[in-house]
Amino acid sequence: MIYPPKEGFGRTARIQSMEDYQLLYRKSIERPEEFWGEMAQALTWFHPPDTILDADPDLVDFSWFGGGRLNACYNAVDRHVKANPRRPAIIWAKNEPGQYELITWRDLKHNVGRVANVLKAHGVRKGDRVCIYLPMVPELAYTMLACARIGAVHSVVFAGFSADSLRERILDSGARVLVTANEGPRGAKRVQTKAISDDAVDGLSQVQSVLVVRRTETDVPMKAGRDWWLDQEMSKHRGTCPVEWMAAEDPLFILYTSGSTGKPKGVLHTTGGYLVYSVTTHRYVFDLQPEDVHFCTADMGWITGHTYLLYGPLANGTTTVLFESIPTYPDAGRLWQVVDDVKATVLFTAPTALRAILREGDAHVKKYSRKSLRLLASAGEPINPEVWRWYHDVVGEGRCPVVDNWWQTETGGVLIAPMPGATPCKPGSATLPFFGVEPVLVDDEGRVLEGNGVSGNLCIARTWPGQARTIWGNHQRFIETYYSRFPRLYFTGDGCRRDEDGYYWITGRVDDVLNVSGHRLGTAEVESALVAHESVAEAAVVGIPHDLKGTGVCAFVTLKPEHLDASKEQMMGALKEQVRHVIGPIATPDQVRIVSGLPKTRSGKILRRMLRKIACGETQDLGDTSTLAEPSVLDELLQQQSQLQ
């Protein structure tokens, strides 16, 4: 089924028709320098760029907006202080329901300036890295922007990572200053961020200062000469701090990928291109309107937090919501409660959150009005069509466009997404490329697949401003990871189908593709068939060795609470039948395993590589388990596997 654009929405939308989209898309592809030169004018430049693009594809070297000088913090903060004095820049939704704090543009500038002065006093200079290990508190935004202000490179590490993971990232980035908190309330838990930080930097002479945010009353041990309370340090400094005018290609931040496919990579983004791409995608993909209150639930530890919670909205002068809690605390109604309280107009979340809420039933949603919402967005994983329709019908009551947007840490911003006022949507498809983006599908031999109705490896043919420039300290790894499989094409690692209408459907990671009796099956399609069954909450599908087919299909599923008592035998039969019915006999699972939880990265993505190892009996070597959010789910999976063997 195709969902046409909403009539009322289209009338005020930035892109109102497919003709408008195609016109602008063609321009962005045919005259990219003109297009991006115009988009760059949305920013305030100290010195405008002399050139737009300077690329050397052989050396995998891309430079955007050469000669331009700008500052990301100035663009995100200073220039809005006069224009929007009374509007909040940030609405902080604290962990406990009903508790909010409004931070105006003026407050923001003042606090960012003070933190910037603290960093300088602790020896941070232009080009130095600062590691940030903080819960979702305002100081997190202040510190990132303070780094940008003085030209330091921030490296935010999600405050749910272990001490070892944090240490590894501190060592890799060479940060000498770490910013953390005494502890971090998150749902019913309190993350011991300071204790974890202590373990991470124990015996590490590299780290000279640890700045500690006082989030709660809890006292923590402070090491004299190394640890400093940030509030005390801030009180020593005034809020005025001059901005450093950075070259467009100067680094802005390092961010490690989620680690779904292996050891995380320290992706480097630069100032000009990243910021131009952030404001442009934020404006069109979320159809920015002047009164928007933008609620992105992502943690700042992920790229979505960087681009669509902080830099994109703030640089566009939009009020952004900083959500400290989780979507299921204290219950599955939390997001809608925040939406009503802050009058959010845009909600941007991930399929993992939607599935967790959906399984608890619609009553949690319907309890709240959600009237302020005008647009719903999702990214991070393929969204199962069933979940898309629920998001559209139940959450948005059919009023709001659903914007499923595909992208990666490395892409800086959205690459494939509908134009909310113009693009007819098909649930499960991220639809069409963003301006300046040229997706290419290639087969395993590297042959480009022309035309529609094809599927293969998703690559991007040309650079775009938001593209990561390198992997921190290891350009060779950058070339090998993204540019060696298919020469001169950026390889995303994702499989994709371009349907008869030219719409893009992410089929899953190419490493996870199942080759069943010579047929290639993407994980997304089989999983969505399972999730479409009324009793299934989540599903993950992996390949297992099979004598006849080469690869067999093994499905791991979790059930909705009201179906937990069903007979396992019957359920397994019903789910096999479900896949056979929806996709065909070829995809019928050989095994269905009912479990109570799936292994996920800390950003909520299903770790199929781990499930595959378990299902194949390779339980001794599960690979990098440090990215696993809840190590306890492994126990059940391993136990089940040992019973099967």
Q: Which stretch binds ligand ATP (CB under 6 A): 40-48, 62-70, 254-262, 319-327?
A: 254-262
Q: Which stretch binds ligand ATP (CB under 6 A): 164-172, 176-184, 246-254, 255-263?
A: 255-263
What own/partner pairs with CB < 8 Å and gap ≥ 24 does 555-558 have? 555/526, 555/527, 555/530, 555/579, 555/589, 555/591, 555/592, 555/593, 556/593, 556/595, 556/598, 556/611, 556/615, 556/637, 557/530, 557/592, 557/593, 557/594, 557/595, 558/594, 558/595, 558/596, 558/597, 558/598
Q: Which stretch binds Mg ion (CB under 5 A): 188-196, 257-265, 357-365, 526-534?
A: 257-265
Torsion of CA 223, 229, 232, 238, to 10 degrees: 120
260 lies in the site for ligand ATP, by CB under 6 A? yes
Q: Give the whole-angstrom CA distance, residue 605 versus residue 627.
A: 10
Name which of 257 and 457 has its Cβ closer to Mg ion: 257
Rg (alpha carbons) of the chain, rounded to whole number: 24
H or E element at residue 610:
helix 608-615
Instruction: Report, in Å, the least distance between residue 358 CB and ligand ATP.
Output: 17
Q: Which stretch binds ligand ATP (CB under 6 A): 66-74, 209-217, 244-252, 398-406?
A: 398-406
CA end-to-end distance (rounded Å), the chain: 43
Q: Give the whole-angstrom CA distance, residue 136 versus residue 457.
A: 36
Instruction: Report, in Å, the least distance between residue 479 CB and Mg ion.
Output: 16
Encoded one letter per residue, x for contact with ligand ATP by CB under 6 A and - for no contact, window 219-238 reads --------------------
Instruction: Report, in Å, the least distance between residue 255 CB and ligand ATP.
Output: 9
Q: Which of 233, 221, 262, 227 is nearest to 512 (CA)?
A: 262
605 lies in the site for ligand ATP, by CB under 6 A? yes
H or E element at residue 311:
none
Residue in 28, 165, 173, 405 binding ligand ATP, rule: CB under 6 A: 405
Instruction: Report, in Å, the least distance between residue 492 CB and Mg ion.
Output: 8
Instruction: Report, in Å, the least distance between residue 188 CB and ligand ATP.
Output: 26
User: Is residue 153 within 8 Å of 128, Cβ to Cβ?
Assistant: yes
522 lies in the site for ligand ATP, by CB under 6 A? no
Name which of 180 and 405 has its Cβ closer to ligand ATP: 405
Instruction: Report, in Å, the least distance between residue 408 CB and ligand ATP.
Output: 4
**Does residue 330 have a cis bond before it (omega within 30 degrees)?**
yes
320 lies in the site for ligand ATP, by CB under 6 A? no
Residue in 144, 402, 430, 628 binding ligand ATP, rule: CB under 6 A: 430
129 lies in the site for ligand ATP, by CB under 6 A? no
Q: Which stretch binds Mg ion (CB under 5 A): 66-74, 200-208, 255-263, 591-599?
A: 255-263
Does residue 116 sit in helix, strand or coil? helix
241 lies in the site for ligand ATP, by CB under 6 A? no
Total residues in contact with Mg ion, by rule CB under 5 A: 1
| Range 471-510, binding ligand ATP (CB under 6 A) | 492-494, 506, 509
Beta strand pairing call for 439-442 and 454-460:
antiparallel
Strand partners, 209: 177
107 lies in the site for ligand ATP, by CB under 6 A? no
| Residue 194 interacts with, from ligand ATP, Mg ion, none (CB under 5-8 Å by kind) | none
User: Is residue 256 within 8 Å of 157, Cβ to Cβ?
Assistant: yes
Instruction: Report, in Å, the least distance between residue 428 CB and ligand ATP.
Output: 9
| Residue 333 interacts with, from Mg ion, ligand ATP, none (CB under 5-8 Å by kind) | none
Does residue 507 sit in helix, strand or coil? strand
Q: Give the whole-angstrom CA distance, residue 19 versus residue 259.
A: 39
| Residue 374 interacts with, from ligand ATP, Mg ion, none (CB under 5-8 Å by kind) | none
Greatest Cα pair distance in the chain? 72
Which ranges in 532-606 belong to alpha helices (H)?
568-582
259 lies in the site for ligand ATP, by CB under 6 A? yes
User: Is residue 380 within 8 Å of 351, Cβ to Cβ?
Assistant: yes
Name which of 605 and 613 has its Cβ closer to Mg ion: 605
Encoded one letter per residue, x for contact with ligand ATP by CB under 6 A and - for no contact, window 375-394 reads ----xxxx------------
Q: List interacting residues with ligand ATP (CB under 6 A).
A: 257-261, 264, 302, 379-382, 404-409, 430, 492-494, 506, 509, 603, 605
